[in-house]
Structure 1
């Protein structure tokens, strides 16, 4: 009797349809605002529910999997190239007379050029021996080892004036 019971169970198992483990049902839920969510448990009552079959194909199954079709590129009309438009530009406060590389080269060579700030001059020549202010104008006084004097004048914005 026990063998007959096992045979009946095996026959029932063979007759029961085998469920594809790589396919599942997913619900696509869309609310009134158009927001879309996907769930396996169903949608809220105020959402519109769509049932979607999802298949996860196993690699190497031999079945071609369709990919997204690339959109055809549309040719854009060629336009004459124009000079680039500078949207934002750093202002050094001295009228941008010198680029950053020009300032860097002047500092390395220990030169003072128009358009340098007082900080640039101090980077180039060091702290001044004496600082004077006259009529709102700043002046740096330098004296080298040979006794030669150098006077650097700055405008109201604190930029070298020559």
Structure 2
């Protein structure tokens, strides 16, 4: 008898499918507040049964989160006559160096007229000495073998060209 009951219980457990969806009640009161619950709604609330689907991870089935809205057909815009540039970036030195020339100079550790102090400091680091004379700033970099490199900046903080 016990063996029969045990085998019947095992058969029932193995034959039941795992629950992948749960009924949830959507309750709304007279003020428009919405509550979701599994126990049911109070008497004075409007109720609606929602099916909540929670697939197992890696089940391979895509679950859409929301239905995409259909895109409206837009009217074709008439082509404009030209492009107008509203603003441009100014490096403070009159944009004497293009972006690619600036990058090449920084990589090759070259000093070009029109570079900014931040360009020089990002390439060579902080200077060993800084002197200021007549509104001009001099950065001096000393190497180990006695060689020095001097960079002169104008009043705007831009590298000056050779005279």
Tell me the TM-score normalised to structure 2 length: 0.47
**Whose Rg is larger?**
1
